[in-house]
Structure 1
Amino acid sequence: MYEAIIIGAGPAGLQAALTLGRMHRRTLLLDSGEYRNATVDHAHNLLGNDGVAPADLRARGREELAAYATVEIRDTAVSSVAADPDGVRVDVDGEILRAEYLVLATGLADDLPPIPGLAEHWGRRVANCPFCHGHEFAGRPVAVLNASPHAAKLRGMLEPVASEVVVLDPARVLRVDGADEGLHLTLEDGSTLEVAGAFVAPVSRQRAPFAEQLGVAFQESGAVRVDPFGRTSVERILAAGDMAHADHFPGSMATLAAAIAAGQLAAVAIVQELAAPR
């Protein structure tokens, strides 16, 4: 029996495993190989790793985990999970694995606006986070394809960075094509727009069904509701990364730094509870 099983080996899951490993806790990290930022070539706004390829960051994390004998990594997908009085049960290809604690770090998946050609540029010239991708378009025009009230706030954040910020209702954009220095947008009135990049507001959803299977509480945003240490409403179940957030946040924090911090805090909570008198 493991002391902790972590499902998901992005930055939150890797950090949780590292923290547990440093405290010599028997930990299993399960990696399905699916990541929200799989299409991103370079991740930014992470101290010491600004511009790193996400795949390289994950590889470095796994290399560091190899130094800790109590941490095991398996490259496999999980079929289902269930809670019981002694902890959790995790089904991996018919094998039932047990642990005292479970950390969900499976992340979110993004459903993009249904604009032809948009998905081909997602994670490169099309993004949703100005903190992670805005600077790369510095001094050039960008488009904000967003019809919600948040579009005005996004424009305000990008105006010091871009030479021009054009806000468009996604319904006005017929298609998106790559250009030499950015994107070529074809609009419904027949006009075109050349921009360095575009920012969209994808609809995010839970990538995996495990939180729902366990019956944890959710926020209105669709994220798992957690306390500041990542504890969910179900005992011994924690969640970390962009799939979860506490009440004092308006929504998920889709940044590497926030995911890493959440993974560490979830692991600290587990270590403290394991060390408490029983």
Structure 2
Amino acid sequence: MAEVPAWSSVKEVVTVTERWDNEYDVVVIGGGAAGLNGALMLARARRSVVVIDAGAPRNAPADGVHGLLGREGMPPAELLERGRAEVRAYGGQVVTGEVATAARDAAGLTVTLTDGRTVHARRLLVTTGLVDELPDVPGLRERWGREVVHCPYCHGWEILDRAIGVLAAGPLSVHQALMFRQWSDDVTFFTHTAAPPAGEQAEQLAARGIRVVEGPVAGLEITGDRLTGVRLGDGTVVAREALAVAPRVAARAGFLAGLGLRPAEHPSGAGEYLPSDATGRTEVADVWAAGNVTDPTSQVGAAAAAGAQAGARINGDLIAEETRRAVAAYRDPFSAESEARVCELVAGDRRHGL
């Protein structure tokens, strides 16, 4: 029985030199929680797998990951470091790079990086996540992940009972204000460039004691490196200690255009996503997706779980393909499938040091 690496030994694997092969069973594009957990499942299934990570995680500005059992409050960079070490400990590879294109050819799938490197894969797992498109308000980007937040489950406890503002930025903004009311009884809704809430939404805000301030927001007031207020276009400053924004999101998936796979508008109106079924399978054969790129609402735990499921499904799909080829070779030992099967077994022996 193979020995399971302990965390004490896994840590040492982080320092290994990045290795780059020409072919893999699976190429994982994106090195966040979804990608690393998918790669971990595949590596434990004895698949050759590489994670290509551009090194720009969406949650990098945050101080800690929240709502993740056993890892509550862990800095995002530390969580990813542990994940990379665990993947490498089971023989998977993690390399730094940005994918430019993905295409299909006679040999399968070819991924090309922006630095010109190419790699061939039998399957792809896309876990590149999203980009937050914030409103054009001075100071928002600089405070993003600190006092400017978006998810009450990720940040609500950290701004508990503070004076919270909610900036209207899309169709989910009123819903966001009602959500943050659970964490504070002092919530103000800024309409900014949107029309004031009307009808049922206006009634809901009033019933929950959420003040509505009309007019464009010109910027943020910062005192001693802390948010202290929201400045309106007429110069009025409304004292606030935190500001919630529901930004539009864009899927990091432009490199898939060569495969005929393009992002779609999410039904919620929040922005783009990459459609897939419940297992992560996309409409393009041999391509799976997991994490925020296909589910914008996923927190870290859900994204990791989706990556694990996609990894398991990909392994199952490869097993089915290999079984079909093995049966064909069994029926006709002199067929092309038989020759391909021999080459496959030899390659597998080499990968496992046999």
| Between structures 1 and 2, the one with greater helix share | 2
- Aligned ranges for residues 30-41 of structure 1 at < 5 Å? 30-41=52-63
CA contact under 8 A between 2:170 and 2:248: conserved in structure 1?
Answer: no
CA contact under 8 A between 2:41 and 2:312: conserved in structure 1?
Answer: yes
Report the TM-score when normalising by structure 2: 0.73
Q: 1:91 aligns with which of 93, 112, 122?
A: 112
Aligned-partner residue type, residue 236 of structure 1: D
Q: Does 1:74 align with 2:118?
A: no
Large movers: runs of 4+ above 3 Å: 179-183
Q: 2:179 aligns with which of 157, 173, 188?
A: 157
Residue 200 of structure 1 deviates from its aligned partner by 0.6
Q: Does 1:173 align with 2:238?
A: no
Would the alpha carbon gap of residues 28 and 159 (structure 1) be closer, same or farther in structure 2, given more than 3 Å must change? same
> Matched residues in 2 for 1:235 and 1:141: separation?
49
Q: RMSD of the alignment, in Å?
A: 1.7
- Aligned ranges for residues 1-278 of structure 1 at < 5 Å? 1-69=23-91, 71-84=92-105, 86-92=107-113, 93-146=115-168, 148-171=170-193, 172-180=216-224, 182-216=227-261, 218-221=263-266, 222-245=272-295, 252-276=296-320, 277-278=323-324
| Between structures 1 and 2, the one with greater strand share | 1
Report the TM-score when normalising by structure 1: 0.92
Aligned-partner residue type, residue 230 of structure 2: L
> Matched residues in 2 for 1:216 and 1:77: separation?
18
Q: Which runs of 5+ in 1 are unaligned?
A: 246-251
Question: For 1:131, what is the secondary structure of its paired residue?
Answer: helix
Structure whose CA Rg is larger: 2
Question: For 1:20, what is the secondary structure of its paired residue?
Answer: helix
Structure 1, residues 119-149: CA drift from partner, whole Å, max 9, x if none?
1100111111111011111111100001545
Would the alpha carbon gap of residues 177 and 190 (structure 1) be closer, same or farther in structure 2, given more than 3 Å must change? closer
> Matched residues in 2 for 1:156 and 1:90: separation?
44
> Matched residues in 1 for 2:187 and 2:136: separation?
22
> Matched residues in 2 for 1:148 and 1:77: separation?
30
Q: Which has the higher contact order (CA 8 A, sep 6+)?
A: 1
CA contact under 8 A between 2:227 and 2:240: conserved in structure 1?
Answer: yes
Residue 178 of structure 1 deviates from its aligned partner by 2.5
How many pairs align? 271
For structure 1, which segment, 216-225 or 114-123, has the greater mean C-alpha deviation from structure 2 after superposition?
216-225
> Matched residues in 1 for 2:299 and 2:228: separation?
24
